[in-house]
Structure 1
Amino acid sequence: MEKNNILPALLLGGFLCAGLVYVGHTASTALLQMKAMERTVTVKGLAEKEVKANVAIWPINFTEVDNNLPKLYETVQQKTDRVVAFLKEQGFSDSEITISLPSIEDRQAQGYVDPNVRYRYSAKVNLSVYTPQIDLMLNTRKQMISLVKEGIAIASQEYDNRTEFLFTDLNSVKPVMVQEATQNAREVAEKFAKDSDSRLGKIKTASQGQFTISDRDNSTPYIKQIRIVSTLTYYLND
């Protein structure tokens, strides 16, 4: 009986070993295929574009002084009206012009009075122009010097008083720039694949970077440079 049981047991053992070998071979083949699929290259694609700002925020400030407060108010009102009239003459509308209340300073109310100060009251007048008419704004800013003849000294474009230029139509250029960044990344990846004797496969992952908008240079802040960097990972095939 024992001899008769040995043969089936040997056959069963043989089948099990063959099955394990087959499973091991299949698993190793699958692992090799998975390993091959893990061969990737990660590249970055750049797209840049220069555009003209489509909105300008232009602050216009001037200061008046006097020892007579009612007279100061009257002068401030007259000169403010003149500046507004000048802006309208150039082509700006009421909706583009904003006038803030003047800031009045009583220098004698500060406790210490500088004997060299000739005028007690100082009024700072703030106007601003919010406009999409960039060329008109640039030209008008050059003409502001003519107001000096009328006794209105417009403050210079200092750091905290400079014109701000904006580009608010990013959606109009987004699709094209994303496409350009993707194409640029693919060109880089294809070059890498060629140099490594591989073929470029499908995209594994893609990440669209943030759009950045900056001045092209300090001299022309109304010209903006838009930039995006996309990151893509491609599979590499033999």
Structure 2
Amino acid sequence: MQKSNALPALILGGLLCLGLIMLGNTVGDKLIKMKAMERTVTVKGLAEKEVKANVAIWPIRFTEVDNDLKQLYQTVQVKTDKVVDFLKQQGFSEDEITIALPAINDRQAQGYVDPNVKYRYAANISISLYTDNVDLLLKTRTNMLSLAKDGIAISDQDYNSKAQFLFTELNKVKPEMIESATKNARQVAEKFAKDSNSKLGKIKNASQGQFSINDRDSNTPYVKKVRIVSTLTYYLND
């Protein structure tokens, strides 16, 4: 009676041992595969694109001096109107032109009067042009000398008088540039995989860098260079 009970127990124990062995082999295979999947390569992909600015901001400045304050205001008004008329003749609309109040400086009110200063009052006039017609603005800048015949000397040398050019249509070029950066990164990864006798696997993770927009050079600030660097990590397979 005891022998008959021992046989099924022995068979059951053998099956359990076989199951544990098979389970161990399966788990071992999975661990080996997981270990292999830990081999990765991290690369960076670069994309650059030259674009033309689509918005321009141009502060047009000039200065007037006089010893008679009333006369100074009249001169400022006349010359401001001439500058605005000039801009309209070039093709700009009234909505694109903004006139700031003139800044009047009384040199005698400063307490110290420089004997070399000929005029007591100085007025700084600023007219701002905000437009999306960049080509027209560039053309107009070359024609500004025509205002000199009216005694208007436009200042364009100091920092506050320089035109500012902007590119605000980044969303239009984003998809294309991200795709290009990703392809560039994959090419680098494939070269690494080939050199290391491996095969490139799937992407483990990816990080999109920030877009940067800078002038192409100091002579053409209306031409911008858009740049993006993406970071991708790929699995390596044998």
Q: Secondary structure, in 3 states, of the residue corresponding to 2:70?
A: helix
Q: Which residue of 2 aligns with 1:167?
A: 167
Q: Which amino acid aligns with 1:33?
A: K
Deviates more, 1:93-102 or 1:106-115: 106-115
What are the Cα deviations for residues 176-234 of structure 1, in whole angstroms up to 9, with x where unaligned?
A: 11111111111111111111111111111111111111000000000000011111111
Q: Does 1:181 align with 2:181?
A: yes
Q: Secondary structure, in 3 states, of the residue corresponding to 2:186?
A: helix
Deviates more, 1:35-44 or 1:215-224: 35-44
Q: Which residue of 2 aligns with 1:217?
A: 217
**Aligned CA-pair RMSD:** 2.1
Report the Cα offset of residue 86 of structure 1: 0.6
Gaps of 5+ in 2: none
Q: Which residue of 1 aligns with 2:134?
A: 134
Q: Which amino acid aligns with 1:180?
A: S
Q: Does 1:67 align with 2:49?
A: no
Report the Cα offset of residue 55 of structure 1: 0.6
Gaps of 5+ in 1: none
TM-score, normalised to structure 1's length? 0.91
Q: Secondary structure, in 3 states, of the residue corresponding to 1:157?
A: coil
Structure 2: distance between partners of 1:6 and 1:146: 116
Q: Which amino acid aligns with 2:185?
A: A
Q: Which amino acid aligns with 1:191?
A: K
Report the Cα offset of residue 17 of structure 1: 6.3
Structure 1: distance between partners of 2:112 and 2:8: 115
Report the Cα offset of residue 161 of structure 1: 2.1
Q: Which amino acid aligns with 1:170?
A: L
What are the Cα deviations for residues 155-178 of structure 1, in whole angstroms up to 9, with x where unaligned?
A: 123223211000111111111111
Which aligned pairs between 1:81-92 and structure 2 lie closer than 5 A? 81-92=81-92
Q: Secondary structure, in 3 states, of the residue corresponding to 1:148?
A: helix
| Count of residue correspondences | 238
Structure 1: distance between partners of 2:111 and 2:68: 19
Deviates more, 1:10-19 or 1:74-83: 10-19
Report the Cα offset of residue 14 of structure 1: 7.1
Structure 1: distance between partners of 2:157 and 2:224: 19
